[in-house]
Structure formats: structure tokens, C-alpha cells
Amino acid sequence: MDQPEKFLYGYRGPWPSHNAVTPEASPPVAVLLPDAEMKTYRRKVLRRFLRQRWTGRPAAWLHALRNPGLDPVNDEQFTQALTDTAFSRMINPTLDPVDEQTFADELRAIGDGEPFKVDLSAMSEIETYPGVYCAPSITLMVRDRDGRFTPAAISLPGIVLHPDDGDAWELAKYFVLQGASHHLIALIHPRLHFPLNPANALAKTILPKDHVLLNLLLPHLEVQLGLESGVLFTSRSVLHNRQDELYAPFCCEGKGNFTLVNRGYFGIPGNSSYPAYRYEHGVGTIHSGYGVFLDRYYQTILSYCQKVVSRIAPCDQYVRRWAAHCASFIPGFPDETAIADPNTLAAAAATIICTNSICHTSDHHYYTGPSYNQIPLRMRVAPPTSRSIPALNRRKLIHREDVARHYLANEMFFRPTVLTKLTDSKYNFADAELIQLSRKFVDDLHVTERDMPVRRYVPLDDMASSIQF
């Protein structure tokens, strides 16, 4: 038997388990964490939350006073938000039979255009606060031969609206953007946080301190376990949305957010926009420049990981044990047999690193970019049920309190607060060749940024090394 001093936490390392608080709303995560993990979280993250909880209030209210209501969102801005940002994770080229029926007339009219949808129908499962509204929506987008998207229609309960429907169309766009915001924060983005949480915990428990794989992964596992434990199990976390806290911005009680977490992980049968989570190498399929951006960094990370894991024997008992347990908690993760392939091991390591660094930071970076007054989290008027509605008064669509809540949540939880940059990652390699590889990795990241074929959605210098916020 290995001696306890061989491992980070001896025989008391973290271990995943099914969420006893909300087992129906989240994947397995590490619940009982070593003191060192929680101390790191409290010192580096929680302390900032507690400070900003009070110091951020004046700025939040000042912003709300200066910026009441909602600003106009033209069709170009609407399209750009859905198809060229983190929201583009939700673009789906598969129209289900119900979609073909809903948009039958529109589909006949698009000619040689290619149809896509942004399906936010899970908003139907959310019960909003009194006086606050949301709406399930499906937006039909059409991509032309040049790759340009245009919105063709928005389906809301009882009505399908088009760009020539005046104020009803304008109002519908806000409900789409509201739904996209809730989906990104509570459904899409949690797929980056929680499903790979077991891989983090198991690496720190199963892999010896001097193991090459652990030292490759460790800089990218910092803070994650404590942060995610706080998000899930602390009643005052933003996801629980307690209304006695100004930073609670969502349109519903915490159980509504956990419903979306549930749909992101377990899926909605029969709806191609809500597949159940299943691990796959890389960043997944994203039909936008945003997806290209993420994938280019993944390929660079993969190349680095391939070189590093070549130093690990295919039959390494610790790697096989780690993979076996990861596969038992993470659907689709390569098991102890599959991980013996060095390419598979490299891809798994690269996926963990890229998810925790590039993908996670990029989502946060986008979300704090748009105006609080264009992409609301709350709406104070009901969604349109007719093409003829009263003239839109944008000052009455949200309250100042809604703006203040959104602003403070952004500052505390959504805005990237980088503790360690990706380019400053320190790998505790003992081998001189591996140390040199880690230095070249940083150079390769800069080359990737320089040669990026799409716009640089996030500067490399702003990329965190791990899930730190």
C-alpha cells in the first residue's frame, strides 16, 4: 500500500458523490473537501465576495439611477449576440418535427438559406417572482451562402413573430435575450463547471504528488472545488438568488435556476437543443467564430499535452485508476482501458485544461461585456401575444432595482477576476525537458493568439489558468 505522504491529502483526499441537497439538479461533485481546498477558496474568492457585497452597492444603485429602462436592440445587434458570442453555444442546426411545424411557412420562404434555431423553451419551467415575466422562445435563424445569419422568426407561446411586426418584434427580442442570459448562466455554463469536477477531485486523491499527470493538471485545478461547493451548497450564492441580497439578479427563485442546471445536465428527451451531458474531447461543436476561437486554443493545449503525456507509461496504474473512477462519475469519460492510448490521455488532459481555462474565462468575459440595459435578466411586462401591442415604453420594461441587481451580480460573480493567468501557470515538473516544454507552451499560446483566424474574443493576457470565478 502506498504511504499517505505520497499524496496531496494523504488518505483524506476529496471524492465525488451525488449531490445530497439537490440530486435531481446537478451532476456528482466533491462535497467533503480538505481544509486546504476550502481555505484557498475563502482566502482568494470568498473574501472578495464579502467585501464587494457591501462596497459594490453604491456603484450599482448609481448605475441604475443613470441608466433606467432598456436600450434599443436592433436586428443586427440581436443577431450578433446570438451568433457571434458565448450565446452561440446555443445555435442548433437540427430542427425537430415540432420546429418544422411551427415554422412551416418561414421554412418554405428561405430558399437556399440554411435554417438554425436558438431554442430557449426550458424557460417554460421557471416560475417567476410576482410582477416579473419570462417566456419560452424559439428563434429561427437563417444562414446564407456567405455565412451571414439573419433572424427570420421568433416563436413565443401562442404566436410567431417576424422582423416586420413592429413593437411586438422588439419586445420579443428582449425575451429571447433574457432567456439566453438565463440559459448561459444556469444551463450552458454549468456544463463547464460541474461535470468535470470529479476529475479534479480524483486527480488530487489518486495521483501521487510527483506524478507527471497531476503536475500537468494541478495549475488548472486551483480554486475550482471550493468555488463550486460554495455555488451549490451556500444558501447565499448567486445561483440560489436570495432576494434579501442585492446581488441576486434572476427572475425566479433558486429552484428555477437549479431546474436549468438540471436540463443542462440531464437534457430534455426529444429536444435536440437539450442533449444530456456526455463527455467529449475538445470544446464541442459551436457554429460560430467563437467556436473556432476556442478550438484553436484547444489544439495548442492538446499539442502540449501530447508531448507531456508521452513520458507516462501506457500501463501506468495511477492513471488507469484515475480514469476508471472518472468514468464512473462522468458519462462518456474514457475508462481505464481507453486511457491507455496516449492520444486519449492527452485529449482528456487537454479538455480539462481548456475547459477550466479558455472556455470558462471566455464565457465570463463575454457576459460582462453587453450592456445591462440591452440584455435583461428580468422583464416587468408580459411577452407579446398579439402583433398589435401598445407602443413600447422601454423605461418601463425593467425597474431600477433590476438594473442594480444585474450590475452588482456582474461585478461580484460574472466579471472575470483572474487570480493566476494561464500564461503564468507553474508546473511542478522535476524533469528539465518537461520544464522546457512548459515554457514553449506559453510561447505557442502567444502564437495562437497572433495567428487567430477569427476575432480575438478574449485577450490571452486575460485568460485564467483555472476556474477561479
DSSP three-state, residue 159: strand
Residue 371 confidence (pLDDT)? 78
Residue 106 confidence (pLDDT)? 96
Burial state string for 199-218 with b = 16 or more CB within 10 A and e = fewer than 16: bbbbbbbbbbeebbbbbbbb
Q: Report pLDDT digits (tens) over 314-325.
A: 899 999 999 999
Residue type, 95: L
Residue 148 confidence (pLDDT)? 95
Residue 368 confidence (pLDDT)? 84
Which residues in the chain show pLDDT less than 70? 1, 19-26
CA distance 93 to 66: 40
Residue 367 confidence (pLDDT)? 87
Q: Report pLDDT digits (tens) over 18-37.
A: 766 555 556 899 989 999 99
Q: Tell if the pTM clears 0.75, that is, is over it.
A: yes
Residue 467 confidence (pLDDT)? 98
CA 110-112-116 angle, to 5 degrees, is: 60
Q: Which of 253, 268, 241 is nearest to 126 (CA)?
A: 253
Q: Which domains does the chain have, with CATH numbers?
A: 4-72+191-462 (1.20.245.10)
Q: Which of 160, 157, 166, 155 is nearest to 75 (CA)?
A: 166
Q: Which of 361, 401, 345, 434 is nearest to 64 (CA)?
A: 401
Residue 21 confidence (pLDDT)? 56
Q: How far is CA 133 from CA 258, 381, 387, 428, in A?
A: 18, 6, 18, 51
Residue 111 confidence (pLDDT)? 87
Q: What is the DSSP letter of 388?
A: -
